[in-house]
Amino acid sequence: MVELRKMRSDEFPGYVDYFVPDYAAEISTNYDVDSPTATEQAAQAITDSFEQGVETMGQVLLCIVAKRDDADTPIGYLWCQPNAENQTVFISDFCILPPYRGKGFSRLALAALNEWFSETEFVEFRLRVAASNSIAKNLYLSAGFTPTGTNMRRAIERA
């Protein structure tokens, strides 16, 4: 069993420590960007998105906590961007930390996220998953998400 709770300000640096290298690896893998540049881009993305840290308007940062023995230590994170205009919630980042993977927490966290938004005006979750992340794609498909398109890229050939 898991529960979600809002991230506390003192937990934000730990989230950044996880997010930057994880997102940098995705940038590097999927866009052929060298590691230092990808790290810079990932750090800039989090800085731009969270100007006021966990209190930044339009951003929802949640900690995923395993319900056992009153534990309050995050086993993962969810970063969402609710959009009232189109009544959607974009899942910008979803992570179960490595020691807790493969134990069913991802599916439980998605169910808890549904519960979190179930009594709001929002009607749909959206997300983007990297083409190279087959584990995440399989999780989302098995949790009822449907593909809506495919992102593609190609380098411009230089003369």
What per-residue confidence (pLDDT) applies to 68? 76
What per-residue confidence (pLDDT) applies to 69? 64
- Tell me the pLDDT tens digit for each residue of 66-103: 987 677 899 999 999 999 999 999 999 999 999 999 99
Interval 61-66 mean pLDDT = 96
DSSP readout, 17-71? HHHHHHHHHHHHHHHT--HHHHHHHHHHHHHHH-TTGGG-TT-EEEEEEE-STT-
**Which CATH class for the 2-142 domain?**
alpha beta
Neighbouring C-beta atoms of residue 61, cutoff 10 Å: 22
pTM of the model: 0.92
The full set of domain ranges for the chain reads: 2-142
DSSP, collapsed to helix, strand or coil, labels residue 125 as strand
- Tell me the pLDDT tens digit for each residue of 65-75: 998 767 789 99
